[in-house]
Chain A
Amino acid sequence: GDSVTQKQGQVTLSEDDFLFINCTYSTTTYPTLFWYVQYPGQGPQLLLKVTTANNKGISRGFEATYDKGTTSFHLQKASVQESDSAVYFCALVAASSSFSKLVFGQGTSLSVVP
């Protein structure tokens, strides 16, 4: 079945540091890839979407890129702020799915200290 793996469980950075979170995936079809962000006490919300057509997504200073050759995609931000502290999930929807059946990774908890 489809799966997504995030190996970085926790990341701690200082304000203005560079953020890089990596994710690998496995699927039998060309997927659409996503980054969701979850703040404490809230449900996940969509941050970025990356398709195999455009290979890149940008939103709120975050950038996501996709590498079909290594079946990986990553999230980066040039300069993090304390307000970026949250849990970040990579996720995919298989191309064969008629619905938004998201498969999530385990999540990366980001703490940004002033």
Chain B
Amino acid sequence: EAGVTQSPRYAVLQEGQAVSFWCDPISGHDTLYWYQQPRDQGPQLLVYFRDEAVIDNSQLPSDRFSAVRPKGTNSTLKIQSAKQGDTATYLCASSFQTNTGQLYFGEGSKLTVL
């Protein structure tokens, strides 16, 4: 069974540039999460979806961040006008709908904003 796939693995930007991260969850997992993990910190939830619907996006840092999951499968997280403070690893995770706490994480997309 394929795991959660994320791309790109690495991105280096100048401040003000935009970047998109893509996530392909495990087949059959209807819930998808995006976490932000700054260096040497724990993951912090940004947004999560049930199928194509946003359940909670209240933790997205600002209107520079957006996330979609149009067909309830793959998802894209976009950062417009990146800032140095956005430097972090962006983790995608998926799970089946129950609240078991078992999330399956991808390897992450490491963003550096210069």
Interface residues of A, Cβ cutoff 8 Å to B: 4, 6, 9, 32, 34, 41-46, 49, 89, 91, 93, 97-107, 109
Is B42 part of the contact surface with A, judged by Cβ < 8 Å?
Answer: yes
By the criterion CB–CB under 8 Å, are B41 and A100 in contact? no
By the criterion CB–CB under 8 Å, are A99 and B108 in contact? no
Could you say which of A4, A91, A100 has the most chain B C-beta atoms within 10 Å of its C-beta? A100
Could you say which of B4, B55, B101 has the most chain A C-beta atoms within 10 Å of its C-beta? B101
Interface residues of B, Cβ cutoff 8 Å to A: 4, 31, 33, 40-45, 48, 50, 55-56, 91, 93, 95, 97-108
By the criterion CB–CB under 8 Å, are B99 and A98 in contact? yes
Chain A residues within 8 Å of B91, by CB: 43-44
* Min distance, Cβ A56 to any Cβ of chain B, angstroms: 16
By the criterion CB–CB under 8 Å, are B41 and A101 in contact? no
Closest A residue to B42 using CB positions: A104
Contact partner of B107 (CB less than 8 A), chosen from A32, A41, A97, A103, is A41
Provide the bound-state CA to CA distance between A44 and B107, in Å.
8
By the criterion CB–CB under 8 Å, are B105 and A99 in contact? no
**What is the interface of chain A mostly: helix, strand, loop, or mixed?**
loop
Provide the bound-state CA to CA distance between A4 and B41, in Å.
12
Complex A-B, nearest 4 residue pairs according to Cβ-Cβ distance, in ascending order: A43-B105, A104-B42, A93-B101, A100-B95
Could you say which of B43, B48, B107 has the most chain A C-beta atoms within 10 Å of its C-beta? B43
Chain A residues within 8 Å of B56, by CB: 101
Provide the bound-state CA to CA distance between A69 and B53, in Å.
38
Identify 9 new A-B residue pairs, CB closer than 8 A, beyond the known A43-B93, A107-B42.
A6-B42, A42-B107, A43-B108, A46-B102, A98-B99, A99-B99, A100-B99, A102-B103, A103-B45
By the criterion CB–CB under 8 Å, are B31 and A99 in contact? yes
Provide the bound-state CA to CA distance between A98 and B30, in Å.
13
By the criterion CB–CB under 8 Å, are B101 and A49 in contact? yes
Provide the bound-state CA to CA distance between A91 and B100, in Å.
12
Provide the bound-state CA to CA distance between A41 and B110, in Å.
10
Provide the bound-state CA to CA distance between A107 and B39, in Å.
11
